[in-house]
Structure 1
Amino acid sequence: MSLSLTMLFFFLLVSTISVTSSGLWCVADDDATDEQLQATIDWCCSDSGGFRDCTPIQPGGVCYEPNTLKDHASFVMNSYYQELGHTKEQCDFSGTGNVVRHDPSHGPFTN
């Protein structure tokens, strides 16, 4: 197993433990426009957003499917939210993010 693949599995394991322990996730709002979602992805994946590893939502990445703006935005929003302390403000994204209690990676989510 290559070093980068090992690092990816470690990142996913640590992320899963962190997410599970908080019991809260940040996801894109159903009413967010495609433009808002794309802007969130662009910002989160930039140096300004501080979340630089967006490879999981790139083609061939472990979170690429489903390939929708909402799913990709939810991934980066939640990653940002989990890394920076689980506050409602860190899930706002100009009013396009929601904190939920149901793990969105396992079917529909509810607030």
Structure 2
Amino acid sequence: MVTVTTMSLSSTTLVFFLIVSTVSGTSATRNLSLAAENSGEWCVANNKATDAQLQATIDWCCSDAGGFRDCGPIQPGGACYEPNTLRDHASYVMNEYYQNLGHTGEQCDFGGTGTRVHRNPSHGSCVYVSY
């Protein structure tokens, strides 16, 4: 009878182990997918930036001086026009500038209005690149 109890306990332990292993494995896979999705670095407008600063950033980035001239995605009908906010439009052009010109802290500063993030800010058809 003791042997049966020991086997029953072993069977219960084995079933418990299999359940925990399956759940843990599923969670690890899910977390790995999120980590892979967020395994880049992007530059976006920080929460301290004023509307005037954001507009100045858009104007500069979209000018010849800024070196990033393709602001079509933030124009009406563009993939990144919606949501139509200064913060979203500035974040898009800041990231394009940052991604295309070297990934340094200086290239995401924008007078103290930019910040680097590790969560992909892409949404809908608006894709923020990360090289």
**CA displacement at 1:38 relative to structure 2:** 0.1
What TM-score does the superposition give when structure 1 sets the normalisation length? Answer: 0.75
Match of 1:31 in 2: 48
Identity of counterpart residues, as a percentage? 77
Alignment partner, residue 48 of structure 1: 65
Quote the offset at 1:105 in angstroms.
1.5
Structure 2 gaps, min length 5: 1-36, 124-131
**1:21-78 per-position Cα deviation (integer Å, ceiling 9, x unaligned):** x710000011100000000000000000000000000000011001000000000000
SS at match of 2:122: helix
Q: What's the counterpart of residue 10 of structure 1?
A: none
User: With structure 2 as the length reference, what TM-score do the two structures score?
Assistant: 0.64
Structure 1 segments of 4+ aligned residues over 3 angstroms from their partners: none
Separation of aligned partners in 2, 1:43 and 1:36: 10
Counterpart position of 2:122: 105
Cα distance in 1 for partners of 2:79, 2:120 equals 17
**Counterparts of residues 64-79 of structure 1 (less than 5 Å):** 64-79=81-96
Distance 2:93 2:69 in 1: 10
What is the RMSD computed on CA atoms of the aligned residues?
Answer: 1.9
Aligned twin of 1:80: 97
Name stretches of at least 5 consecutive residues in structure 1 with no aligned partner: 1-19, 107-111
